[in-house]
A and B are shown apart, each in its own frame.
Chain A
Amino acid sequence: MPLRLIPDETKIPFMRYAPLAFPVSLLAMVASLTLYFVIGLNLGIDFKGGTLIEVKSTAAEADIGGIRARIGRLGLGDVEVQGFGAPDEVLIRIEAQSGGEAGQQVAVKAVQEALGFADYEYRRVEVVGPKVSGELAQTGTIAVLVTLFGVLTYIWFRFEWQFAIGAVAALIHDVVLTIGFFAIIQLEFNLSSIAAILTIVGYSINDTVVVYDRVRETLRKFKQMTIADLIDLAVNQTLSRTILTSLTTLIALGALFFFGGAVIRSFTAAMIWGVFVGTYSSVFIAAPILIYFKLRPAAAGSSGPAKA
């Protein structure tokens, strides 16, 4: 017989904790936004322009201090030199240079001349000029907004308007907290981070829809039950699925985080955070909103959810 990870019939009164969860979530969101505005994101070159050079030393260990000294002399402004993954690998970030698009190329050339081609192998060179970085930020934001809007519309069609509001509230919650996550641990925010946020949106909505689907079904089945009990029932019924799925996704992401290489590590870190946040928001944001927006009026068994 297969292992039962979750007891068959749980009766956790989730909605009793909802009045507690709301202020906590709100506080976390405010904190995230404060962090975003006060500390700000650690923007990568994709969004602020500049140059990123990854070098691998031919020696067993890269001389980070030496690299810093040699590049520091070039007068390229803010230069960041740090180890990356293995001890012989170094990441060099150079701020956007004046002199427009051509200025960036001058900087790359200067660094390559300063470090030479004998001691270092250039594994990655990324240069994003000011023009492109502005466009990338714009398209990234548009992608997030269009996704939110698409999801809102779909849920509105498939469910009721309260569900659409709940789902989008949960999504905004997840996006804001993820941005807070990026701000607090100063994880580099680049194009992949946008992909991560959108994936989190996808995962979270997936999770929310599963719960909502059950709520809709339960609504039809139990015409007399109060909305809070009904949601508790639906959440409990889907609980084992929620936990199993989160676990398997976390396992897959964990493998990616530890073994997927340094390039996508920040992407997976954000995703792992997103799985937690997304799961939490389905139960404690998306579901209780149905109560507050009076999905089922005080008089039970009314018009709302009768649609097939």
Chain B
Amino acid sequence: MLYFARWKIALIVLSVLMGVVFAAPNLLPAGIAASLPSWLPHKQLVLGLDLRGGAHLLLQVERGKLIEERAETLVSDVRQTLRAERIGYRNLRVKGTTVSLTLRDGADAERAMTALRPLADPIQSGLFGQGGVSEVDLVLDGDRITATLNPDGLEARVRSAVEQSKGVLERRINELGTTEPVIQREGTDRILVQVPGLEDTRRLKDIIGQTAKMTFHMECADGSLAEALRSRPPAGCEIAEPADESDGPMLIESRAQISGDDLVDAQPGFDQQSNQPIVSFRFNTRGATIFANLTRDNVGRRFAVVLDDKVITAPVIRSPILGGSGQIEGSFTVESAQNLAVLLRAGALPADLTIIEERTVGPSLGQDSIDAGKVAAMLGMAAVVIFMVIAYGLFGLFANLALAANIAMVFGILTVLQVTLTLPGIAGIVLTIGMAVDANVLIFERIREESRLGRTAINAIEAGFRRALVTIMDAQVTTLIAAVALFALGSGPIRGFGVTLVIGILTTIFTAFLLTRLIVATWVWSSRPKTIPI
């Protein structure tokens, strides 16, 4: 127990030194640590949002709505296909994920199925690469045809919607100019957004909460709004609500002429005459051509710019716009114009996102928590250190030395692995201090006992370590089981606590089994004690 091979001593000392060296940059101010030469350890602890402040949002893709929209598209695809083939049908309806229709003439069945077949072709999804998934199951039963969206296809839809949304969110959030935002998929249909250091989350929420689907519609040419409101809109037209409640609703063509997908740029600005905030935009070639044709053919008519089903502006076309750029004048504030420009540049979300969890901590609270955690840890340490010296004298000093090394190693590991340190994580470190002390108490108590049994000093120390280490191992392993369960199954704060606890248990086992033993052995061999001052 008290003999160490040279290489072992070297390894133990090296491990402790590594811990100290990697933990050391945390003592420096962030700016200085970052400017250290790259061959020196310069990483600092990653602080969780609860300590550094910031926003944490968990978003969920609205699966139901996505499926509903997909089913509607399927209906219109079916309608168009059959119309193009001049096949008569009735009772075209959608129920859940199934579209059904009855052919007027059963003899058309073969022709109808052939025409509809392409709808059931596998969608090429670059994400999966394995040939894609067939989304639609086509079934012919007499003169009835059903097209069902199958679960695999829907699942693939949701996945790709999440993936696309992630990209859109990345582009949008990067526009906010914050540092190191985290945007990652969670589970199948969720996206986690973490933006450190963001104090006011209103803008963030405004920016990520909007689908931002922009379309250009012509005003409906036939039928009046009043009549549409009284009965129902004419075929191919619909009533659109205004974005600004002081405007009235408007009757527009259901078909969008151009959509935001064809935009290449959008910038906030001010109108030169009225000095009102506006958003100017530029179309790509395709969009520019359509826009030019549209404005050329419809001079004198109104068209509506619709954002997420609401009309934001509806100007009258005064002259053809051929350059492919224009401006939107809604009732904007400077901020809402900026936001809209960001949204248009980043593109529309493929699905609606709902915030299902939000945790935002202001930087001042984070700093308070760090300070409080520091004070508590220091005081706790100081009290424990004094207590150990009172209880065990010289051996108490040994224990304190081991404890200091233990803490340094915990921070070293946290820093090297870039584990996020949270407030519960600090609690885990404090618990580690308690357990590290326990390990030493077990050893020293055992040495006391063994020496009371009349053993010589060296024998008592030998036996004390040997016996106590069995207990320490059992105790630490059982605690480790609990800590691992916390880490693996827990989320958020539980996980943060589990992670430091796991690291703490490992370093405690190391210090108890090797470091304390080495320190005591060194003392034994250098001072050759007759009695143990314990």
Most buried by A among B356, B383, B452, B490: B356
A contact residues around B489 at 8 Å (CB):
139, 142-143, 146
Given the contacts A237-B449, A252-B434, A147 and B384 also touching, CB distance less than 8 Å: no
Q: Judging by beta carbons under 8 Å apart, are B441 and A248 in contact?
A: yes
B contact residues around A202 at 8 Å (CB):
431, 478-479, 482-483, 501
Q: Judging by beta carbons under 8 Å apart, are B383 and A252 in contact?
A: yes
The answer to whether A19 has its CB under 8 Å from any CB of chain B is no
Q: Judging by beta carbons under 8 Å apart, are B485 and A198 in contact?
A: yes
Total inter-chain residue pairs, C-beta < 8 Å: 247
Q: Chain B: which residue is nearest A244 at the CB level? A: B441
CB distance from B399 to the nearest CB of A (A): 10
Listed stretches B32-40, B102-110, B372-380; interface member: B372-380
Q: Judging by beta carbons under 8 Å apart, are B486 and A198 in contact?
A: yes
Given the contacts A131-B60, A147-B481, A158-B474, A1 and B393 also touching, CB distance less than 8 Å: yes
A contact residues around B534 at 8 Å (CB):
2
CB distance from A37 to the nearest CB of B (A): 25
The answer to whether B435 has its CB under 8 Å from any CB of chain A is yes
A contact residues around B388 at 8 Å (CB):
248
Interface residues of A, CB < 8 Å — how many? 81
Give 1 or 0 for each of B443-456: 1 = CB within 8 Å of chain A CB.
00100110010000
CB distance from B492 to the nearest CB of A (A): 6
Q: Judging by beta carbons under 8 Å apart, are B390 and A255 in contact?
A: no
- A256 and B110 CA atoms in complex are apart in Å by 77
Q: Chain A: which residue is nearest B496 at the CB level? A: A195
Interface residues of B, CB < 8 Å — how many? 83
The answer to whether B134 has its CB under 8 Å from any CB of chain A is no
A contact residues around B431 at 8 Å (CB):
199, 202-203, 249, 252, 271
CB distance from B509 to the nearest CB of A (A): 13
B contact residues around A2 at 8 Å (CB):
389-393, 395-396, 533-534
Given the contacts A105-B205, A129-B357, A121 and B471 also touching, CB distance less than 8 Å: no
B contact residues around A127 at 8 Å (CB):
355, 357-359
Which one of A1, A201, A251 lies within 8 Å of B482 (CB-CB)?
Answer: A201
- A198 and B467 CA atoms in complex are apart in Å by 28
Q: Judging by beta carbons under 8 Å apart, are A260 and B376 in contact?
A: yes
A contact residues around B471 at 8 Å (CB):
209-210, 213-214
CB distance from A273 to the nearest CB of B (A): 15
The answer to whether A122 has its CB under 8 Å from any CB of chain B is yes
Which one of B424, B437, B476 lies within 8 Å of A248 (CB-CB)?
Answer: B437
Q: Chain B: which residue is nearest A109 at the CB level? A: B202
Q: Judging by beta carbons under 8 Å apart, are B354 and A101 in contact?
A: yes
The answer to whether A192 has its CB under 8 Å from any CB of chain B is yes
Q: Judging by beta carbons under 8 Å apart, are A253 and B478 in contact?
A: no
- Which residues of chain A (91-133) have a CB below 8 Å from chain B? 100-102, 104-105, 108-109, 112, 117, 121-129, 131-132
- Which residues of chain B (340-377) have a CB below 8 Å from chain A? 354-362, 364-365, 368-369, 372-373, 375-377
A contact residues around B359 at 8 Å (CB):
124-127
Q: Judging by beta carbons under 8 Å apart, are B365 and A256 in contact?
A: no
B contact residues around A112 at 8 Å (CB):
202
The answer to whether A247 has its CB under 8 Å from any CB of chain B is yes
- A247 and B491 CA atoms in complex are apart in Å by 31
The answer to whether B58 has its CB under 8 Å from any CB of chain A is yes
Most buried by A among B200, B384, B494: B494
Which one of B380, B423, B475, B486 lies within 8 Å of A264 (CB-CB)?
Answer: B423
Q: Judging by beta carbons under 8 Å apart, are A261 and B368 in contact?
A: yes
A contact residues around B477 at 8 Å (CB):
154
Given the contacts A139-B489, A206-B478, A206-B479, A132 and B441 also touching, CB distance less than 8 Å: no
State the main secondary structure of chain B at its contact with A.
helix
Q: Judging by beta carbons under 8 Å apart, are B445 and A241 in contact?
A: yes
The answer to whether B216 has its CB under 8 Å from any CB of chain A is no
- Which residues of chain A (228-279) have a CB below 8 Å from chain B? 237-238, 240-241, 244-245, 247-249, 251-256, 258-261, 263-264, 267-268, 271
Given the contacts A124-B365, A249-B434, A251-B380, A195 and B493 also touching, CB distance less than 8 Å: yes
The answer to whether B497 has its CB under 8 Å from any CB of chain A is yes
The answer to whether A78 has its CB under 8 Å from any CB of chain B is no
Q: Judging by beta carbons under 8 Å apart, are A205 and B493 in contact?
A: no
Q: Chain A: which residue is nearest B477 at the CB level? A: A154
Q: Chain A: which residue is nearest B494 at the CB level? A: A195
The answer to whether B228 has its CB under 8 Å from any CB of chain A is no
Q: Chain A: which residue is nearest B437 at the CB level? A: A248
Q: Judging by beta carbons under 8 Å apart, are B357 and A54 in contact?
A: no
The answer to whether A69 has its CB under 8 Å from any CB of chain B is no
The answer to whether A31 has its CB under 8 Å from any CB of chain B is no
The answer to whether B2 has its CB under 8 Å from any CB of chain A is no
Q: Judging by beta carbons under 8 Å apart, are B438 and A155 in contact?
A: no
B contact residues around A205 at 8 Å (CB):
475, 478-479, 482
Most buried by B among A101, A140, A206, A247: A206
Q: Judging by beta carbons under 8 Å apart, are B479 and A268 in contact?
A: no
B contact residues around A264 at 8 Å (CB):
423-424, 426-427
The answer to whether B3 has its CB under 8 Å from any CB of chain A is no
CB distance from A233 to the nearest CB of B (A): 12
Given the contacts A122-B362, A199-B431, A132 and B479 also touching, CB distance less than 8 Å: no
CB distance from B476 to the nearest CB of A (A): 8
Which one of A101, A140, A241, A259 lies within 8 Å of B356 (CB-CB)?
Answer: A101
Can you give 15 A-B contacts (C-beta < 8 A)? A1-B393, A5-B391, A123-B361, A124-B365, A191-B493, A192-B497, A209-B471, A209-B475, A241-B442, A245-B437, A248-B434, A248-B437, A252-B383, A264-B424, A264-B426
B-side residues, CB < 8 A to A, are: 50, 58, 60, 199-202, 205, 209, 354-362, 364-365, 368-369, 372-373, 375-377, 379-380, 383-384, 387-393, 395-396, 423-424, 426-427, 430-431, 433-435, 437-438, 441-442, 445, 448-449, 452, 467, 470-471, 474-479, 481-486, 489-494, 497-498, 501, 533-534
4 tightest A-B contacts by CB?
Answer: A261-B372, A255-B380, A2-B393, A249-B434
